[in-house]
Amino acid sequence: MPHPPPYLKTTACATFGSCEDSHDPLFSVRAGLNVEDVLIHLTILLRSAYATNEQACQVVDNETRHLLWSTRTAVEMAQGLVQALLGGMETDRSRPELR
C-alpha cells in the first residue's frame, strides 16, 4: 500500500502589511519555518485578538457589539482550526507509518 503524501512541514515566504497594496509590504514570514511552531505562534496571536475583541465589546454600543461578535466568532473558528491542526500533528507523530 502506498504511503500518503507528506503533509506540509515548513512555511513558504509570505509578505504582508501593505495596507491593501497602497505600499510595499512591511513584514514577512520567513521560508522554512517549522509549521507546528508557526501554528503555536498563531494560537497566541488569536488569543490576543480574542481578548482585544472581548474588551472592545464591553465599551461599545449594541449595534457595534453585534459587529464585534461576528469577529469574535471568526477568531474562535480560526482558533478551532489551529487546534485541530496541532492535534492532528500530535496524532501523526504517534503513528510510525507517517514519520
Q: What does pLDDT average to over the chain?
A: 89
pLDDT (average), residues 35-43: 94
* DSSP codes joined into one string, the chain: -PPPPPPP-BPPPEEE-STTTTS---EEEPTT-BHHHHHHHHHHHHHHHHHHHHHHHHHS-HHHHHHHHHHHHHHHHHHHHHHHHHHHHHHHHT-GGG-
pLDDT in tens, 68-91: 999 999 999 999 999 999 998 888
Q: What is the pTM of this model?
A: 0.78
User: Would the pLDDT of 30 be above 60?
Assistant: yes
Q: What is the pLDDT of residue 1?
A: 46
Q: Which three cell numbers stand for residue 69?
A: 461578535
Domain-wise residue ranges, the chain: 34-98
